[in-house]
Amino acid sequence: MDEQRNDEQIVRQILYGDTEAFRVIVGRYQKQIFNMGFRFFRNENDAYDFVQEVFIKAFQKLGSFRGLSPFRFWLLKIAYNTGINSVKAYKSTSPIDDVAIPSAEKSPEEKHLNEELRKLLLDAVNTLPERYRICVDFYFFYGLSYNEISSMTGFPVNTIKSNVFRAKKELRDLLSGTIAEDYYEL
Amino acid sequence: MNCEDHISHYLKRESIDRLPFLVKIHLLWCGKCRREIPALRKNLAAYRGIFPYAMKRDMSDSIMRSVCKMLPYKRGAVSESKWIISGCILLGSIFLMPFNNSMQWVRDSFGEFFDIPLTIVMGMAISLYITLFAASHLKNFGLRSKIDRILAKEAQ
Ligand SMILES: [Zn+2]
Ligand SMILES: [Zn+2]
């Protein structure tokens, strides 16, 4: 029954004192927050800690949620700010260990295909300057608009536009290069 | 415009799904792009809602353990102490009014007839306070849940 309620309704429930309803919010968004954490810290353990930290922060700030933008955007913004601040604080110098872990919700055939595509996009994104990579994540995976990404990150829309364009072009080259003919059948 | 220009034109657009008009026209007579662009579009669109790093651990329990240690929220944005303090200030200012000389100053400057508007203003301030208090404490009066139920029914 909780699954049918929208985020804003659940938030209201929590503000009425039903803390347990927060579990639904966690269930809905932990994967997205985890992925953002991975983008910031490039390792699983820190990404899990990040998820914990972001949701606790979100719970503490919930009383200040005004519903001016969708809850999901509000949550992603908290996560983004948390990530930016801790990356600044700890200046990660660890090398990129891009472990592409398959997600388990697609059929085996699809999964294989997605895995390949996923690897290609990660390669394409990795050709971009580090601080803009997350913009491309927001565009492709999170489905945010240029304007939303700009208001989240503070980067100008044109910067986001040109980085997304570069990633798409790179991706196109990778798609036609690595699996040449095969790719048209995908 | 050659094929590369058309592909760049498409990739520069924010929307993955919609092909620009000129590109559509180009597709009508260019077999090479007819093979490439729709496939490219399909691949780009395939990323939406996919998250590249799979999460192996469910964090719900661990987060809920921390969250449950915190105080649950209570209905109403203004805390009880703020209500009590502002109520005291309001009442205090009314009772103190006759005893200090600001009232006298008002009388001296504007004449006796100003008493009545001032009383009305004070009355309105008290009513406003009570209205806001009642509105934010509807749950305590048992009305809030009734209103919620009506709203929920309406929403269905
Ligand atoms: Zn394959
Ligand atoms: Zn062409």
Question: How many C-beta atoms lie closer than 10 Å to residue A34's C-beta?
Answer: 24
Is the ipTM, as predicted for this complex, more than 0.90? no
Contact B62, A52 (CB under 8 A): yes
Q: Are residues B100 and B144 in the same domain?
A: yes
What does the block give as tokens for B21? 């008009």
One domain, residues B86 and B146: yes
Percent pLDDT > 70 in chain B is: 78
Distance B29 CA to ligand 2 centre (A): 8
Interatomic CA distance for residues A140 and A128, integer angstroms = 15
Interhelix angle A133-140/A157-178, rounded to 10 degrees, is: 80
Give how many domains chain B has, as a whole number.
Answer: 2
d(CA A45, CA A52): 11
Greater confidence, B37 or B88?
B37
* Residues measured by CB to lie within 5 Å of ligand 2, the ion: B 3, 30, 33
Whether B19 has a pLDDT exceeding 50, the answer reads: yes
Confidence check: pLDDT of B79 > 90: no
**In b/e form, how buried is each residue of B96-111, taking b as 16+ CB within 10 angstroms?**
eeeeeeeeeeeeeeee
Q: According to the 3-state scheme, what is the secondary structure of B5-70? A: HHHHHHHHCCCCCCCCHHHHHHHHHCHHHHHHHHHHHHHHHCCCCCCCCCCCCCCHHHHHHHHHHC
Residues B41 and B84 in one domain: no
- pLDDT in the model for residue B113: 72
**Distance of alpha carbon B154 from alpha carbon B1, whole angstroms:** 56
A35 to B51: CB separation less than 8 angstroms, yes or no: yes
Question: How far apart are the C-alpha atoms of B156 and B141, rounded to whole Å?
Answer: 26
What whole-number distance in Å separates Cα of residue A129 and Cα of residue A163?
9
CATH architecture of A106-178: Orthogonal Bundle (1.10)
Return the closest-CA partner of residue A50 out of A73, A84, A82. A82
Domain of B104? 80-155
- Is residue B55 a part of any domain in this protein? no
pLDDT at B58: 97
State whether A169 and B11 contact (CB < 8 Å): yes
pLDDT in tens, B87-99: 888 888 777 766 6
Q: Are residues B84 and B149 in the same domain?
A: yes
Q: What is the pLDDT of residue A186?
A: 42
For A37, list phi and psi in degrees, rounded to 5: -60, -40
pTM as predicted: 0.69
Q: Which CATH class is domain A1-95?
A: mainly alpha
Task: State the pLDDT at residue A181.
Answer: 44
Mean per-residue pLDDT pooled into runs of 10, chain A (186 residues): 82 94 97 95 94 97 92 97 88 52 51 72 88 93 95 96 95 74 46
Identify the helix (H) or strand (E) that includes residue A185: none
Which residues of chain B neighbour A35 with C-beta distances below 8 Å? Answer: 51-53, 55
Q: Mind giving me the DSSP string for B67-106?
A: HHHSPPP-S-SS-HHHHHHHHHHHHHHHHHGGGSTHHHHH
Average pLDDT (B29-55) is 90
Q: Is residue B57 part of a domain?
A: no
Measured in Å, residue A134 CA sits from the centre of ligand 1 at: 27
Share of chain B above pLDDT 90, in %: 37
Residue partners of A42: CB distance under 8 A and separation at least 6: A92, A94, A96, A97, A98
Give span(s): CATH 1.10.10.10, chain A. Answer: 106-178
> Which residues of chain A make contact with B59, given a CB cutoff of 8 A?
26, 30, 34, 48, 51-52, 55
- pLDDT attached to residue B83: 75
The pLDDT tens digits of the residues spanning B102-147 come to 667 777 777 777 777 777 888 888 888 888 877 766 655 555 566 6
For residues B85 and B149, membership in a common domain is answered with: yes
Give the B-side interface with A, CB within 8 Å.
Answer: 7-8, 11-12, 14, 35-36, 39-40, 42-44, 46-60, 62-64, 66-68, 70, 72-75, 77, 139
d(CA B57, CA A51): 11
Of A18, A23, A34, the CB nearest to B55: A34
Chain A residues touching residue B12 (CB < 8 angstroms): 161, 165
- pLDDT computed for residue A175 by the predictor: 85
Query: Rounded to a whole number, what is the distance in Å from the CA of A114 to chain B's nearest CA?
Result: 8
